[in-house]
Amino acid sequence: MHGAVIHGAGDVRYEERADPVIRKPTDAIVRTVATCVCGSDLWRYRGVSPVSRPVPIGHEYVGIVEEVGADVTTVAPGDFVVGGFSPSDNTCPVCAKGMQANCLNGGIYDGCQAELIRIPQADGTLVRVPGRPDDALVPGILALSDVMCTGWHAAVSAGVAPGSTVVVVGDGAVGLSGVLAASELGAERVIAMSRHADRQEIARSFGATDVVAERGDEGIARVQELTGGIGADAVLECVGTEESVVQALRATRPGGTVGWVGVPHIAEIPQDLMFRRNVGIRGGIAPVRAYLDDLLARVLDGRIDPGRVFDLTLPLSEVAEGYAAMDERRAIKALLIP
């Protein structure tokens, strides 16, 4: 089979790789229907995170079960499935608390931007989609594999509730998903911070009531204007840079919370913006499995269409162009079809 392998900064190749095989009785093999490039993949593509040797890459997928291990009982060959970016058994004490990203018995994928994928902990990881969904629904289901559930985790972690005022920092696929999550969770005001017209448009279609294009002091001043002079109840940090984390903390009112899901690449957490201001930070790697059933139902009944974050579709063989387009901000998120 073929799949994407990252060799170094700016160097993603579509290569022949060995077909994955069942290694443990809890594994399954899935034939990919669609996969995609994640903003977090760009940390390595941009050289921010080092790549010491060529490694298969990608962690999002929907597909059809090809084979299952002896212990797998909830999915069978032929099932259309979606799974989160982080395998989990969904039964350990941490999973029982709804924190499947920190599963005590989780595993890792060997690169999901590929024609075939080995799924560890298949029973706990995969969710069966009834029948064979219409092609038009595939992007929306694929978005649940990471970005939509990650945006949802930001909103849940920040304590978004009916009536909340919310600021979303970051207008990538996760930030836009965070706008949709905040809106679905009943936020009264959802302020998207975005400078790009196309992303602003998606943000509005996802429920943003306001868009703030300014950054830094001006951006904070605009947020203050929109929040009665005190900042937002909940702020979703969907980037992970120093600038965005500071922006998020500053945009939060006393007693409010930043829900952070952008993998932090920061020297340190600015504690001067926290304790004395009574501003907290919660969140981390999203427990996709905790949200998957609920959000899949919303996608299947047409209530939400998180697949709108995909604005570029390519053959999987052109995966390198998907990275380049996202790196150069020509695309929000690239969907890849084997």
Contact footprint for its own copies (CB under 8 A): 93-94, 97-99, 101-102, 104, 157, 228-230, 233, 253-255, 257, 260, 263-264, 266, 268-269, 271, 274-285, 287
Length of the chain: 338
Contact between 100 and 288 under an 8 Å Cβ cutoff? The reply is yes
Backbone angles phi, psi at 109, to 5 degrees: -85, 155
111: left (phi over 0), alpha (psi -120 to 50) or beta: left
Residue tagged 């994407």 (tokens): 4
Question: Is 28 strand, coil or helix?
Answer: strand
Distance CA 93, CA 325 (A): 41
Structure-block tokens of residue 304: 């939400």
Contact between 323 and 306 under an 8 Å Cβ cutoff? The reply is no
Structure-block tokens of residue 53: 């040797």
Distance CA 158, CA 44 (A): 28
Alpha helices in 73-192 (DSSP H): 93-96, 122-125, 138-143, 147-157, 173-184
Distance CA 81, CA 90 (A): 16
Q: Where are the beta strands (DSSP E) in 9-108?
A: 11-16, 28-36, 55-56, 61-68, 80-83
